[in-house]
Amino acid sequence: MVTRKCEAEDLREMIAGVVERGEGRRGLMACQWRLVDGDGRGVALRGASSAPCFCHRDEAIVFDGRDNEALKLRFFSFLLRVPLFVEIIPQIVCAS
């Protein structure tokens, strides 16, 4: 799966489009994203303590349009002490 790094503004535009089209909760759930660092490592939670750590991007926590991307970005960047980026996970549309 190919992903692209983007700024949080791109995600906000996607979410705004979902809201404008009246797609509701299902539409917001389709706007999936994760946090990655400059090396492409994803953010995950480790063990019983749920301590944040780095992992392969395919194993990273997947958030969606219902989550507050600005808050998650600041929170995990602070805990991991590195700059993080929002990475949108493109949806694959299958023809039936």
Domain span including residue 19? 4-88
Give Cβ neighbours of residue 26 (< 8 Å, ≥ 6 apart): none
Which residue, among 90, 92, 93, has the nearest Cα to 11 in the 3D structure? Answer: 90
Task: Tell me whether residue 42 is in a domain.
Answer: yes
Query: 51-65, pLDDT tens digit by residue?
Result: 999 999 999 999 999
pLDDT given at position 92: 58
DSSP annotation of 58 reads G
Task: Tell me whether residue 93 is in a domain.
Answer: no
Q: Show pLDDT as tens, one digit a residue, over the chain (96 residues).
A: 344 455 678 888 989 999 999 999 899 999 999 999 999 999 999 988 889 999 999 999 999 999 998 899 999 999 999 999 999 998 754 443
As beta bridge partners, residue 33 has 63, 88
In degrees, to the nearest 5, what angle opens at C-alpha 78 toward C-alphas 52 and 53? Answer: 15
Task: Tell me whether residue 44 is in a domain.
Answer: yes
The mean pLDDT of the chain is 86
As beta bridge partners, residue 52 has 45
